[in-house]
Structure 1
């Protein structure tokens, strides 16, 4: 028991110290095929399993969500099906939230069924989804260069209009978001991986209260897709166009970590295993990399 506690303390110190921010090389350790244009990966700690969104082909209703074990084995390929271009995933309070073209879907994990569909009026192509510490949910719209908000029921400090019906609010709508793709809420900011108008999307920081937008990157990077935090000081971001994964510091310093292939989407960083999980859209596969 004493040795076990020492190991736990060491692991906590290792993670909290920002050691992972030094991981700028990686080795491909696993490929799992059989998906259909996978876009996003999240992990459910309570169930010890991954959920993977599959955009499938351009046919309404052929999209689906897969369940995959912690070891990377497909448990249920079409766990939830009948979707249209599902992309971003969020695990929150026993539910999975999915951006599904122009609507947000709520799935009960326990019952394996869709419990709510929220149509987003005016949306063009909903993409990533994230929640802040207060329970507010933010959703990117890459087609519209906008961000939507589902406010938490409890009072919070965000400056938003009255929303007694619990509807989705258009939080930001500006080309300064550079056709925002990936989103991650961290403390008082939203961090955004921008697709850009061509291949010059920046990594952005948005003050949640004032909605002020600031460029973190020193110049355009690429068609940015996924964003994952590395402690408090850095992020892993993916460039869909080249398959390159970068480590970017909060001061904008950029380091290349690995290059996979074109179409690496909304990545997942597993801090405990020090691994990156990449949904590979064109390859119909999910790739695991061990960071070093």
Structure 2
């Protein structure tokens, strides 16, 4: 009888001890798995084009055709009306498909596609280029413009910034209007799938509310050049000096820094299906492609 009682008590004690230990091990394992799943956003270089794109300022990927467009200033002065600016076409492998697809521009910068046309800012003008023919079909001089820069489009409306005057303009149905102003050194602009406008200026990464007011989402990523909306509150932003950031309202991670190589990172482009970021290097005269990992 005593032997049985001792055995039973030992068995109950062992069971309780095992029950107490097991949840702790499971919790530790789950926490380890969560930690392993958190990845730091990064960029992996895929290719770089030939260095024949003279002062390449902006890159735009067209998902409908698979073409990559670049705007090339040609020269040191981004405000000089010299008629030397061009648009080139690259393949997704970095090959230069057409070195001079469009010529006769001055200092072309940001680009966006809408209504079968490519829209490009050119100092104080918005230029319309037919995608099929490559012909310049229209030019609109923007009153009071000084340094038109980045461009974005949504549902046929084209939005573009003036870095010097701090204004955001829009183009639709042959008319240009000012939709917002008072933004210090505003450059990069992008539009989300729901039509929300985002921008980069001296105060950081901001968004436009439905009533026209703005709010700062991230005050650390300031003075940005190119902007990509990834969705779920995440963005990729470039700084001309040679930095590319992964940013959200909560945090930011510097994914690339090429300042030591004196290689700029101007108005970036993005291929969402392949998650590839295209970086124009400005004075290095080439485009570098990176795989986005996050």
The TM-score normalised by the length of structure 2 is 0.79
Q: Give yes or no for contact 1:23–1:291 (8 Å, CA) kept in 2.
A: no
2:252 & 2:120 partners in 1: Cα distance?
30
Aligned to 1:226: 226
Q: How far 1:93 sits from its partner (Å)? A: 2.5
Pairs within 5 Å for 1:204-215: 204-207=206-209, 209-215=210-216
Counterpart position of 1:7? none
Any residues of structure 2 matched to 1:153-168 within 5 Å, and which? 153=173, 166-168=174-176
- The unaligned stretches of length 5 or more in structure 2 are 1-37
Contact kept, 8 Å, 1:148 with 1:172, in 2: the verdict is yes
- 1:93-140: CA deviations, max 9, x gaps? 22111011100111111111101111111101101111223x222110
Please report the RMSD computed on the Cα atoms of aligned residues, expressed in angstroms. 1.8
Q: Does 1:100 align with 2:122?
A: yes
SS at match of 1:111: coil
Corresponding residue for 1:11? Answer: none
Distance 2:142 2:58 in 1: 20
Alignment match of 1:191 (pick from 182, 195, 198) = 198
C-alpha distance in 1, partners of 2:154/2:131?
21
TM-score normalised by the chain length of structure 1: 0.79
Rounded Cα–Cα distance in structure 2 between residues aligned with 1:140 and 1:44: 21
- Paired with 1:82 and 1:148, the residues of 2 have a C-alpha distance of 24
Question: Paired residue for 1:27, among 44, 65, 78?
Answer: 44
| Larger Rg computed on CA atoms | 2
Instruction: Tell me what 2:188 maps to.
Output: 182
CA shift, 1:263, in A, is 2.2
1:25 CA drift (Å):
1.3
Aligned match of 1:161: none
Determine the C-alpha separation between the residues in 2 that align with 1:23 and 1:283: 28
Q: Give the 3 Å change call, closer, same or farther, for CA 233–221 of structure 1 in structure 2.
A: closer
CA–CA distance in structure 2, aligned partners of residues 268 and 25 of structure 1? 16
Secondary structure at the aligned position of 1:181 is classed as coil
Equivalent residue, structure 2, for 1:145: 166
Q: CA deviation at 1:45?
A: 2.3
The answer on whether the counterparts of 2:122 and 2:148 sit within 8 Å (CA) in structure 1 is: yes
Q: Which has the higher helix share?
A: 2
Aligned residue number for residue 39 of structure 1? 57
Alpha-carbon distance in structure 2 between the residues aligned to 1:77 and 1:37: 13
SS at match of 1:224: coil
